Copies of this chain bind each other. A is one copy, B any other.
Amino acid sequence: MTVGTEPKQDRSRATRRRLLDTTVRCLATHGWESATVGLIAAETGISRGAVQHHFPTREALIVAALRHMFDERMALLDAIAEPDPGHAGAERVHAIVSQIVDLMGGELFKAALQVWTAAAADADLRTTVVPLERHFGRAAHARVVRLLGVDDSDPQLRGLVQATLDLARGLALADVLTDDSRRRAWVVRAWSDRLADALEPS
């Protein structure tokens, strides 16, 4: 690498990253149909030509944004805090489940939902989406198993870890059209208590 090209490459990488973040935000806020290259370029503050320099087609941009969302969600999984050792039993389980539910929702979910829904009617897009989702699903399962200290060879406990991830997905969906945060907090509490009970039968 020659001196002088690096700053240019850094700038290019930074623009690419900004472009992908804006694509995620546009999908979440404006929806699939409205998240056009023109809108995304305008909201990133660059020209359409600059977008096309990074991604020749809208499809390429959307697929890159999908991989970007996947990377972000994987990083969030890694960043889940180990609960305070002072928290035991139900409190510990609640701290973990709350973080998983937060991670599975929010803007990343809203953007991903737009892509999944388009992929439901688009076989080509599905071939990109499905392996990423499978990979994320396995990583999320492994992370929850480790955080909860669950015996993953027990089919009942494996099933409850899966159910917790499905619950998180259902709660994320319930938050798309209205702010569901108050109901969600109460559901997460009820679920965590049952899960804690299953992990440490009294």
Interface residues of A (CB under 8 A from B): 28-34, 110, 113-114, 116-122, 126, 129-130, 133, 155-156, 158-160, 162-163, 165-174, 176-178, 183, 186-187, 189-191, 193-195, 197-198
Q: Among A129, A130, A174, A187, find the residue whose CB has the most chain B CB atoms closer than 10 A.
A: A187
Contact B129 A177 (CB under 8 A): yes
Chain B nearest CB, measured from A55 CB (Å): 21
Chain B nearest CB, measured from A119 CB (Å): 6
Q: In whole angstroms, what is the CA distance A162 to B185 when docked?
A: 12
Q: Among A159, A171, A173, find the residue whose CB has the most chain B CB atoms closer than 10 A.
A: A159
Q: A114 contacts which chain B residues (CB < 8 A)? A: 117, 120-121
Contact A191 B155 (CB under 8 A): no
A-B contact pairs, 6 of them (CB 8 A): A31-B121, A114-B120, A116-B173, A117-B176, A159-B191, A169-B174
Contact B113 A120 (CB under 8 A): yes
Main secondary structure of the interface of A (DSSP, over half): helix
State the oligomeric state as a number of copies: 2
Q: Among A30, A32, A34, A122, find the residue whose CB has the most chain B CB atoms closer than 10 A.
A: A32
Chain B nearest CB, measured from A188 CB (Å): 8
Q: In whole angstroms, what is the CA distance A155 to B183 when docked?
A: 12
Contact A126 B177 (CB under 8 A): yes
Q: A129 contacts which chain B residues (CB < 8 A)? A: 177
Q: A193 contacts which chain B residues (CB < 8 A)? A: 156
